[in-house]
């Protein structure tokens, strides 16, 4: 009787353990195979990660840098009830953006170290020459005095000579490290200047 009771208890224990072992042996669902699965009671589509960003329904990137800059300015002007549309000139801003593109990418720039900083001889032809002679004096005007820098732009037949100097030794190292491209990108006046051009306002 005792042995029969022992076998019965052992068999019962094995039977109870079998479902647990079977469940433990079931493989976990593979990543991405989410059909039919639920997360917090909601069905999860294939490839959707919990907490992941939802795909936008419409594109948000304008697709081109100058177009995006113009688009942002248009949105600002439209949202401003005081915009004087009789003075607005987005075509002037487009020309300025072309100048920026030509000077940044097409100008031939020779950078030489001079006492206190650098001297850049920027040259080009055609539309690039126009951009150099129009943009670099503007840059010099806007950046002059920033960080204690002194900028001077001198017109030459095929471009502009831009000198950037300072009396601060630490700033000398910075100027030389920035070089021509870095000097062009310095300062935070560009967005404000673009809005002034678009509104037909004088430069500040």
CB–CB of 196/90 below 8 Å?
no
- For 36-88, the pLDDT digits (tens) are 444 444 444 444 455 667 777 877 777 788 999 999 999 999 999 999 999 99
Is the pLDDT assigned to residue 13 strictly greater than 60? no
The alpha-carbon radius of gyration of the chain (Å, integer) is 34
Q: What is the pLDDT of residue 55?
A: 75
Instruction: Give 129-178 pLDDT, tens digit per residue.
Output: 999 999 999 999 999 999 999 999 999 999 999 999 999 999 999 999 99
39 within 8 A of 46, measured Cβ to Cβ: no
Alpha carbons 33 and 51: distance in angstroms, whole number: 17
Domain ranges of the chain: 65-77+84-199
Q: Measure CA 104 to chain center.
A: 17
pTM attached to this predicted model:
0.69
Contact 90, 74 (CB under 8 A): yes
Q: What integer pLDDT is reported at residue 33 of this predicted model?
A: 44
- C-alpha distances (whole Å) from 134 to each of 6, 18, 129, 149, 154 are 101, 84, 9, 21, 11
pLDDT tens for 80-135 read 999 999 999 999 999 999 999 999 999 999 999 999 999 999 999 999 999 999 99
CA–CA dist 2, 64 (Å, integer): 87
């Amino acid at each position: 009787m005792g042995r029969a009771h022992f076998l019965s208890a052992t068999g019962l224990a094995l039977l109870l353990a079998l479902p647990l072992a079977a469940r433990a042996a079931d493989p976990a669902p593979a990543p991405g195979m989410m059909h039919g699965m639920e997360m917090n009671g909601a069905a999860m589509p294939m490839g959707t990660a919990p907490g992941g960003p939802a795909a936008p329904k419409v594109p948000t990137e304008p697709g081109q840098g100058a177009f995006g800059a113009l688009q942002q300015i248009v949105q600002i002007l439209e949202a401003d009830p005081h915009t004087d549309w009789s003075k607005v000139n987005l075509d002037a801003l487009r020309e300025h953006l072309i100048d920026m593109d030509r000077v940044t990418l097409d100008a031939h720039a020779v950078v030489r170290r001079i006492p206190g900083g650098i001297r850049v001889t920027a040259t080009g032809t055609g539309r690039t020459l126009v951009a150099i002679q129009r943009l670099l004096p503007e840059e010099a005007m806007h950046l002059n005095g920033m960080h204690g820098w002194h900028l001077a732009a001198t017109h030459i037949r095929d471009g502009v000579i831009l000198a950037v100097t300072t009396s601060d030794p630490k700033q000398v190292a910075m100027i030389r490290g920035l070089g021509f491209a870095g000097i062009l990108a310095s300062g935070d006046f560009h967005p404000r200047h673009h809005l002034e051009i678009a509104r037909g306002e004088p430069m500040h």
